[in-house]
Structure 1
Amino acid sequence: MNATRPPLRPLDQALAELLSHAQLLAGTESVSTFDAGRRVLARDLVSPLQVPPNDNSSMDGYAVRCADVAANGEALRVSQRIPAGASPEPLEPGTVARIFTGAPVPAGADAIVMQEDTEPAGEHVVRFLRTPQPGEWIRRSGEDVRAGSVVLARGERLSSAALGLAASIGMGELEVVRRPRVALFSTGDELVMPGEVAPADMKPGAIYNSNRFFLSELLRNLECEVSDYGIVPDDREATVGALAHASRSSDLILTSGGVSVGEEDHVKPAVQQLGSLDLWQIAIKPGKPFAYGRIGDAHFMGLPGNPVSSFVTFLLLVRPFLLKLQGATQLAPRAVDMPAHFEWPRADRRREFLRVRRNGNGALELFPNQSSGVLTSVAWADGLVDNPAGRTIALGDTVSFIPLAELLA
């Protein structure tokens, strides 16, 4: 008699348990700011200076004392010219300074007049066509960054804008958490590598190994050091050997397929022989089968074999786990509410992640085939609808949309 199957785990519960096992990786490294994109900052970045360092002009024009330009039509002598990077003299009373965008404002000046609001009135003389207001077109020292302030916090995953901000306070190198070391396995004698066998020569039952390609790319996007162990044959001894070797130099061992109970599924007993393994049934669609365990100091995760299930389960479970290993503080993707331009009349007992795409009307279209084996749906989509268990969707309903840009960054 078969044992009663355990109930399906809610996704949030499974993710919380998984994250409880993710401890910050030991070790940091200093890298060039040029090369720090997508890495996780290991310490707060405190600014040693003001940005901008001086009051400066935000326009090409003239630095003035407002009291000297009290009426339209006032004409004043130009006493100096101030390009960006210059060190100006104090402004002489009753004169103005020709100034350019980014140039420091001379002492005594309290406004900038745009050159469009002036006209020549003789050699080195300019007439003002409007009266300025104090502070007009002046960027104040420190209005972007104050000296001593935390510019970027520890745990920030560095975007292109963050790299520019770090550079603006003089940081040529940044201290970041070391990269996670991930061993990637594919299992199954039915798998064939593209380029090694022509489509016309494929044996019956053989399939090309697509999971290996998108999982490698997803791992690289998370700044992991990937060791690709290729396709491990459906053999117990070979599987044990590969897992044992990988566990000695990896933070995470990641597989897709091969964790069920079939006679040719050797990953499950191999992991149990070397360490510990929990098989989870998660209440999501696509997805459901997921494995977590340990082999020595290495974490082990087994993803479903169907490509869409593997892709989605990686985004929902593996991605936040790897981010937490690196100390990232932003783990959850940001969802937005959007209208559905489709119907989904069949409620499921599992939480569903539907492949959709935004259309020109600001709404979401549904890929017509939501099967877990249809990888076309993921390539076509630009996001997922997070649909709660037991919910149908009618045309025009508001749904929770997770952009793939959030999940693939």
Structure 2
Amino acid sequence: MLAALVTVVSLGLPVASAAPATAATGCAPMQSGASQAAQAAVQVACRYVGQQYAWGGGHAQGMPGPSQGMYDPFYPETAADPTYWSFDCIGLVRWAWYKATGRDIITERTTQATFAAPGYAHTKLLKSQGSAVLLPGDIMYFGRDGFGPTHVALYLGNGMMVEAPESGAKIQVNTISARWDRYQGAFRPHADAVPMVWTWDGRGSYHKTWGQPNLRQDSNTSSAINFTNGNGISVQVRVLCQRVGERATVDGMVNNVWSYLPDYHSWISNLFVQGPALLKDVPSCGDFPPIGGTLAGAENNTSCGDGTQPDSAGAWTAKSTTVFGRTVELRYNSTTQCAWGRIIGGTVGDEIWVDRSADGGNTWDSMLGYTTVTSGNDAHTTQWNDAGLVMRACGTNGRGGSIECTGWF
């Protein structure tokens, strides 16, 4: 990153599922002459027209794709961006060219960095050459004199481009004339199209990653790593199917189910996919003979066994309250959908437990995981499955004291 003034327009949206480009969007390669890979890159970017921009979206380290946006406190307009899994400007270009070629040629770098050192074989096109030399898929850079490039877009042809413009806007098609005064040049990647990246196109459902997963060639931890999410930014991935593989353990969580990600031709342990250990409504890979595998034995994984010890990695406080100066928290793990109670700032004898309800809190199983502070000031319950249920934590300032419960979650 450079200064905040520069970076705010260097990154470009939330993603649901990407819809195919249609004539209604006005987004498609608009002239001939471009390589097959360049045309494919345009077609990918066009699928996201109409989806919300997300500052920082598309910048997971080592793993392209629509990712959780970021908030820049210097720019209030980015406040909603963390609610979107999408792209900023260079993130969209990165994903488009990855999907076209099967290679992450752009990587997670900023617009400025990719302009200064593209890092891939290319033809550089200068502003002095005008727009007549441009072809669909060319990566166009824009900026102000003295600041270098601060924005990037993909050329469509006939004076049009597709871009992720800024926070609060949507990915859209615009004329290059609207930004021509800031145009600083373009790069044309030299890369071949890889049709296999489009395998199972349009199939599967979208889920979000958690943590720093390795995407592997097979459903076991000894297989080769194809991608690694090095900075832990949550990426929205397309899951085709799931099967039982090697039992994996991460930070005390255990799961033997793996999901196949067709956009990466890779497997990911469900430990790193937000949701229950067995993803809801995702079919067995046995339904896809070229992939294969079953879910036999999936019920034996223990990523969130009732009464097991909690793990703190990825946990957050979903609900909290106080009782005589103590803080009572319902802790929740989005990856495993486990929850547990914790009391902090108390004293020996303080109590903590969780209640769990299958009907929204009208009735409940009470005092699950009951424990007390036996030394120090804090204590926590064991963990409990909260998938499809609601839970709350309750605590006291000692036996016979006041009882306070958090809200249901």
With normalisation by structure 2, the TM-score equals: 0.22
More helix by share: 1
User: What is the TM-score normalised by the length of structure 1?
Assistant: 0.22
| Max Rg structure | 1
